[in-house]
Structure 1
Amino acid sequence: MTILVTGGAGFIGSNFVLDWLRGSDEPVVNLDKLTYAGNLANLDSLKGDVRHIFVQGDICDRDLIDSLLATHKPRAIVHFAAESHVDRSIHGPGEFMRTNIDGTFTLLEAARAYWSALEGDAKTGFRFHHVSTDEVYGSLKAEDPPFTETNPYEPNSPYSASKAASDHLVRAWHHTYGMPVTTSNCSNNYGPFHFPEKLIPLMISNALAGKPLPIYGDGQQIRDWLYVTDHCSAIRAVLAGGRVGEVYNVGGWNEMPNIQIVKTIIALLDELAPSSEGSYARLITYVKDRPGHDRRYAIDARKIERELGWRPAETFETGIRKTVEWYLANAAWVANVQSGAYREWLGKQYGQA
């Protein structure tokens, strides 16, 4: 028994691989292209572990995927691999179309050929799980109820449009070919190994470096936040008991505006790593809002709780403290991922070096 994980060296993917192997001896074949956000250092604790088989490669490479499926005969595919940063998708949408749409199509076609040739329990038990985002649903007004699985898709960025397209492909392969698929649409994740272009790790790393903390617009954009290991446990629950063809929204029941997130991080850093120059609040800097910035996301996660008994184990208060403590304890990891290319990105996006 083996599972194939795509994008397993990225933020959520690597946390999933580590979480899976903490609780199971079932091997993982980990396929990752190792783009800027993929980092083998996330998986250092698995060096020498025969349960972890890492393969560097592209999900658009059909021959490679066919070979991996034929060799390892996985009982499930968990598909994380994606370009995922909205700001980067605005500057360069092409790679998002290639990876998120063409890559998912290639993976689905390879999986369909593999699954079609299976027999008996192996065919019945096979699953293709697609990991997606709440951003496919668009933006909510303050008075709107949270997103449910039946909300219409209204993506507003190149990133969310590419993920919406991939969701539609997965749905179509189930309805047309009978592929045994499940999909999860998750809210914003945070936790260890989060690449520091995203809000929470960016605020932590910039504050510790004494750099400005850039806040888009008025900072009142609202997101629902989920600690990454809770996302991992939700995916395990869907793999174990999710109904074929179904979508499950995964959220943390933690809606709050970005500026509140930043102030929470500042309070923790003031406590755990105080600056000789006073509170890190002095570094807050408001910058021009990004184009088409969605105002609010919120997830209604009652379906996955009702059907599969899943609820997040972490509150935002416990999860964000664990996250700040992890970044303080892993300064070398942060320094290693802040390459020249990352510094160039900061300069392009926020005018920072």
Structure 2
Amino acid sequence: MIAWFSAKLQIFLHLPKKVTPRFLFNQEVRANIEISKIARMDRFSDVGLAIRNPVPLRKGLPGHFYVQLPGEKTRLEVKAKVLRSEPHPDDSGQYLVYFTYFGLPRNSLSLIRRSLSRSPMYKSLYTDDRENVRFRPDNLFIDDAAKRVFGIAVIDTDETAGNSLAQTISKEMDRVKVVTESSYMLFLHRYLESSDTASGSAAPPRATEKSQFHSVPITLLLGPTDLKCLEVNPPPKPVDLFLGHPATDVFGAPEKWLTLIQDKASRLILEEAAKLVMKGHDLDKLLTFQDADNNKCAVNCALKKDPEGRGVIAEISPASLSDIVEKLHSEEKNKSLEALIVDANFVPDDPTSWIDGLRMRAAHMGLVRDRAN
């Protein structure tokens, strides 16, 4: 501390000349150091902020901000990334650097909005008239870039919530095509793998009837990780059939029933659903089984956690044509994706590497378009 004070004093006494301090020395240090400064904040909203800075900052550069909002006792802490830098309109030689928030907790967002609501001059939009920004395809003065359609995928375990969000986005935004998935693994299979089944060109499964089941429903107790059949209720009789297969063979060995699920998408859905069920989610899925004639057959599968914690309870029952139309994902997939909205249940503890991995796979599949275009 004395050496540091002496160095500062030496620099101060020799101002305005530049001097080399004699009381300190250079030493390599391998540690993460966060450099802070007091910055003037010129713009502030619930999606980002802008500061005044003497130099422009690189796009994507992370920032860590501590903001004392008027009328709030709690100091706000937010993380953000540089969106763009532009010359300051009122201060020559300065730049206005815009940041967008990321990883913003819900309580912090509420704090920001509460503070903004107290300001009579604040407006989230310059104008609320949607017609001023509506896309008009018959406009002769717009180029092809202005007609570009943006792809968005919504992945939510709650199909109703996912569809509702997709409809809201389509209603509120122009030039977007929104698709929904209730399974993250199925999304990866459809969009980030190269195959006929992934592209959705495979024939849909057939509807099934009660006569193809020895009981409706058939209740299975599955292992939480390997999905082996530990228990079946009611137990099949020697003469009973399941999709044309001898039911005693299908449910007699723990792993035998899984051999009937040859459709990769169905296996992915089942494996992912089992993990979510063990976290307390009740799910209703449509799976594809192979019958005795090797035809693809649709089967409803309602999954929930066993009350005694032994594994997953699966109730399988026939799937009608309306079930197939309602539950089977048959819409054409987007040729490009600009945004991905994912249920928090699918996001890992380390989101940064997860996001980087998704971007790399999406670029490999040609889903990410050149930003220059």
Normalising by structure 1, report the TM-score: 0.18
Greater RCO (CA < 8 Å, at least 6 residues apart): 1
Q: Which has the higher helix share?
A: 1
**Larger Cα Rg: Structure 1 or Structure 2?**
2
Normalising by structure 2, report the TM-score: 0.18
